[in-house]
A = this chain, B = another copy of it.
Amino acid sequence: MSEIHRPRIGIIGTGAIGGFYGLMLARAGYDVHFLLRSEFAVVSERGLRVDSAVHGELLLNPVQAYREAAQMPPCDWLLVGAKTTSNADLAPLIAQAAAPDAKVVLLQNGLGVEEALRPLLPEGLHLIGGLCYICAHRRAPGEVVHQALGGVNLGYHSGPAIDAAERQAILESGCEMFRQAGLESTAMANLDQARWQKLVWNVPYNGLSVLLDAGTEALMGQADSRALIRSIMLEVVQGAEACGHAMPPGLADKLLVMTERMSDYLPSMYHDHLSRRPLELPAIYAAPLSAAEAKGQDMPCTRALYQALSFLSEGRV
C-alpha cells in the first residue's frame, strides 16, 4: 500500500500490446483499468495472462475490466494498444475515459498516426507517441505471449500550450512508469525521428512476413531475403535522413544482428493478414513513402513492397 501518488492508467485496446503493458504496470502497483470488448467475459472471469519468456508466467486477477469507456474512471494516462487502422473509431472512447489533462500514448507503429488522431481528440489532452520494441502476440482471449524485449520510447506530439521543459517532464513521468514496471523507456526529443527509427525494423519485416509467409528466422536464414531486408532498411534510413532525422550509425546492421538473435517471430502484420484483418499499410508504408517523396527521396523497394501488400489486402476494410 504505497502512499505515493500513482497515476491512474487506462488501457484502450487490450490485445497483445495493451494486455502486456497494462499487466506489467498493474503488477508494478499502478491503478490500471482495461477497456475490453470481445474478451471482456473471459478476462473478467479468468483474469489476464502473460506468458513471458522474460518475466515468467504472469496472471492479473481480478482485472479492472470495462465494456464501455464511459464506465471507466477518469484516467491520467491512456495507453492505446489497438491497431492504427481503428484509431478514428477509438477517439470518442479515449475522450470518455480521459481525465481533463490526460496523457494519451499511442503505442503504435508507423508515421503520422498522431496527426490523424489529433483533430478527433479534445484539445486539453496531451498526445504522445510510444514506440514499443517488443515481440509479443495474443495467443487466445486474455492470453498474451511475450517472446522478447519490451522497451518503450516516448515522444511528445501535441497538447495544451506548455513549454518544452513541461513537455519533457511529462515524457519523463511516462518513462518512469514503464521503468517502475521493469521496462526500458527513453524520452525521445523528436517523435517523428523515433517513429522513423522504429520503421527501419517494421517496414521490411512486417511486409515480408506477409508476402513470403515467413517469420524472422526463415527470413534471416536465407541470403536473398536477408539482402532484401537490408536494402529496405537502408531505404528507410535514407528516407528518415531526407526528412531531417539522423538515424544511429549502423542501425540497419544492428537491427539485423538483433533480429537474428531473437527466437523466431511473426510480426503483427502477419497475424493481421492471417486473420484477414486490415493491414496497417497507411501508417507503416504510405505515410513514410509520402514523407520521403515530398523530400525528393525515392524508396523503390519499399514502394514495391507496399504495392504488393496493397494488392494482397485489396477489398479488406
Residues of A at under 8 Å CB distance from B? 208, 211-212, 214, 218-219, 222, 224-225, 227-228, 231-232, 300-301, 303-308, 310-312, 314
Alpha-carbon distance A287/B295, docked complex (angstroms): 34
Inter-chain contact B308/A212, CB cutoff 8 Å: yes
Kindly report how many copies of this chain are found in the complex they form together. Answer: 2
Shortest A263–chain B CB gap in Å is 20
Q: Which residues of B contact A218 (CB under 8 A)?
A: 311
What are 14 of the A-B contact pairs (CB < 8 Å)?
A: A212-B311, A222-B314, A224-B308, A225-B308, A227-B307, A228-B304, A228-B308, A231-B300, A231-B303, A232-B304, A300-B300, A300-B304, A301-B301, A304-B305
Q: Which residues of B contact A300 (CB under 8 A)?
A: 231, 300-301, 304
Which B residue sits closest to A306, measured CB to CB?
B224
A304 contacts which of B222, B231, B310 (Cβ < 8 Å)? B231
Shortest A211–chain B CB gap in Å is 7
Alpha-carbon distance A293/B306, docked complex (angstroms): 25
Inter-chain contact B211/A308, CB cutoff 8 Å: yes
Alpha-carbon distance A222/B227, docked complex (angstroms): 28
Contact (A224, B305) CB under 8 Å given A211-B211, A231-B300, A300-B231: no
Instruction: Apart from A224-B314, A231-B304, list 20 A-B contacts with CB within 8 A.
Output: A208-B308, A211-B308, A212-B308, A212-B312, A214-B311, A219-B311, A224-B306, A224-B308, A224-B310, A227-B307, A228-B303, A228-B304, A228-B307, A228-B308, A231-B303, A232-B304, A300-B300, A300-B301, A301-B301, A304-B304
